[in-house]
Amino acid sequence: MISRVFALLLRYLYLYRRSLARSMEVFFWPVMDLLVWGFLTTYLQTVAAPAAVSYLLGAMILWDVLYRCQQAITLAFTEDIWTRNILNVFVTPVRTSELLLATSLLGVLKSLAPLVLLMTLAWAFYSFSLFAVGASLGPFLVCLLLFGWAVGMFTAALILRFGQAAEALVWGVPFLIQPVSATFYPVDVLPAWVRPLALALPSTHVFEGMRQALRGEAVEPRWLITAFGLDIVYLGAGAAFFAWMLRRVREKGYLGRLGME
């Protein structure tokens, strides 16, 4: 099993080694986001919101971890559809769990590589260190990676079912989650009827805990406990949904159609 998982992972990584455009994409957009948000928050800091730079930059960097992880999983399947290679993947003796594990590991690599660069640039340009979050930084990152896996499985399943017609979901679904996750503002800012939905997402608890840590307060254990608990639920649901959708796609013969699109 391990050999097949790493073989799949190497296959995906070779695509980046041989494509400068793919490799640059991993770093280009996160850096552009950092620069835009960084200069905006620097301005806000001088005008009226001294703490804004730490809250917004921290949220932007952590959000990119979730977003890149989700994209890595979904784009792995989408690119196989674009190159008409999807049938070749599924005729190999690779289990669904191994395929998901390989793409999930790819998500970790595509999230952590830009993370290091963003943290370095944030320190160099804005004197902001994400390590100010303290010991909770590691658990926060793990929570976001796990949630990114879950969202990636969900969107990948939809791509398998609906093909290129659903490609907008690769980029759209994370940004449907972002406003409800209270990424750049406290949950209290949301309308009362939206708050229960926000608190049902693990990402919300991560960003609330991050703001608490950046205020110099001890992070309440409930943020991490709730986030990890929700991650387990979403991971199980995402994996089950992917397996169910893949089974339906095979039964209906949609894999052949995807290979010809």
Q: What is the pLDDT of residues 147-175, one digit of tens each?
A: 999 999 999 888 888 777 677 777 788 88
Task: List helix spans (H) across the chain.
Answer: 2-17, 20-47, 52-82, 86-90, 96-126, 137-162, 168-177, 195-199, 202-214, 221-252, 254-260
Q: At what angle do helices 52-82 and 20-47 cross, to 10 degrees?
A: 160
pLDDT higher for 44 or 116?
Answer: 116
Q: What is the mean pLDDT of the chain?
A: 82
pLDDT number for residue 257: 64
pLDDT score recorded for residue 19: 66
Is the pLDDT confidence value at 47 over 70?
no
Which candidate, 86, 106, 110, 88, places its Cα nearest to that of 98?
106
Q: Which of the pair, 228 or 35, is modelled with greater confidence?
A: 228
Q: Which domain holds residue 212?
A: 2-260
Stronger pLDDT, 219 or 20, i.e. the higher one = 219
Q: How confident is the model at residue 21 (pLDDT cuts 50, 70, 90)?
A: low
Provide the token pair at 204: 């919300």
- Taking the CA of residue 210 as centre, how many other CA atoms within 13 Å lie in the half-sphere pointing to its CB? 36
* φ/ψ (deg, to 5) at 207: -70, -35
| pLDDT for 50 | 58
- Amino acid of residue 191: P
d(CA 42, CA 36): 10
Confidence category of residue 44, pLDDT binned at 50, 70, 90: low
Rounded to whole angstroms, the Cα distance separating 173 from 171 reads 6
Distance CA 39, CA 49 (A): 13
Q: Measure the CA–CA gap between 41 and 20, rounded to whole angstroms.
A: 31
CB 69 within 8 A of CB 108: yes
Cα separation of the two ends of the chain: 31
Most confident of 20-29, 139-148, 169-178: 139-148
Which pLDDT belongs to residue 46? 65
**Total domain count, the chain:** 1
Inform me whether the pLDDT recorded for 261 exceeds 60. no
Question: What is the model's pLDDT at position 201?
Answer: 95
